[in-house]
Amino acid sequence: MKIIKDIKFLIVGLGLIGGSYAEALTDLGYEVGAITRSQSSIDYAIKKGLIASGTTEVTKEYVSRFDVIIFALYPKVFIEWIEKYQGYIKDGAVLTDVTGVKSPVVYRVQEILRPEIEFIGAHPMAGKEVYGVQNADKTIFRNANYIVTPTEKNTPEGIRCCRELGKILGFKTVCELSPEKHDEMIGFLSQLTHCIAVSLMTCKESKELVNYTGDSFRDLTRIAKINETMWTELFLLNKEELLSQMDLFSKKFTELRDAIEVEDTEKMKEIMKTSTTRREYFDKK
């Protein structure tokens, strides 16, 4: 499917991400509808001009109007939705999602989906530490990566459509990874970092430390404000990969700790030099 002007988009789940998709697509001139649990989110989105229509009830009449459906739901709710309502979706529609873990979601949805519909997974690596459609903001995509995770069940047209979506949403880069590679990468770059931030933040009742805090502690704990329901689900969906990344980090942390304990200054300096060199790649981008 080509993304041409009369394509209609349906957002299922109108939170921060769903709302930001809606804002971006509506501003580009597309017709955008929404299905979400709370009527007040729909009222807000219509009032702000983020969507053209919306409903809290899933009906065939409404769902079948749309060509591209974007699921911005928690993984489990998303899979249940597909099981229950996929009969309402029009033949030839393209479905995508925004879930932060891909393998368990992508393969499961593709397994249960009827053949007339195509699902292609995607992960918009963008966010904010606030929730809800009231915080929708399409500019969060500007400096972010959009990762498409095709499988052998996907068609070249489906992949192209999903990549094009990432492009028109305004992401800085659009790339492709297998669901497995995606989950390995995200286990390290995102889930491990959230586990570190959370652990650091829970070390101390830290109110008294606020006055002395420099940027280092603030930077390392920015992501420690975390939606516990969503992240618990994401961590467990990617459990094996995350545990292996956590164990790798623990090993490295203990190496440095032990070098400090025995005052092995050569080892300490070597570790810090490696760290400095590797961090420099990230400055160049």
Q: Using CB under 8 A, which residues numbered 141 to 180 contact a copy of itself?
A: 144-145, 147, 173, 175, 177
Q: How would DSSP label each residue in 57-121?
A: S--HHHHTT-SEEEE-S-HHHHHHHHHHHGGGSPTT-EEEE--S--HHHHHHHHHHS-TTSEE-E
CB 18 to a copy of itself: min, Å: 19
Q: In the stretch 222-261, what mask flags binding to a copy of itself with x, by CB under 8 A?
A: xxxxxxxx-xx--xx--x--xx-xxxxxx-xxxxxx--xx
At a CB cut-off of 8 Å and minimum separation 6, what does 59 contact?
Answer: 88
For a copy of itself, the binding residue among 109, 126, 148, 162 (CB under 8 A) is 126
CA pair distance 31, 10, nearest whole angstrom: 9
Q: Is 125 in the site for a copy of itself (CB under 8 A)?
A: yes
One character per residue 178-217, x = contact with a copy of itself (rule: CB under 8 A): -------x--xxx-xxxxxxxxxxxxxxxx-xxxxxx-xx
Q: How far is CA 220 from the centre of its chain?
A: 20
CB of 16 to a copy of itself, least distance (A): 15
- Residues 263-282 binding a copy of itself (CB under 8 A) are 263, 265, 268-269, 271-276, 278-282
β-partners of residue 121 are 149
Taking a C-beta distance cutoff of 8 angstroms, is the pair 70, 3 a contact? no
Window contacting a copy of itself (CB under 8 A); options: 14-22, 44-52, 68-76, 140-148: 140-148
Please report how close the Cβ of residue 61 comes to a copy of itself at its closest, in angstroms: 38
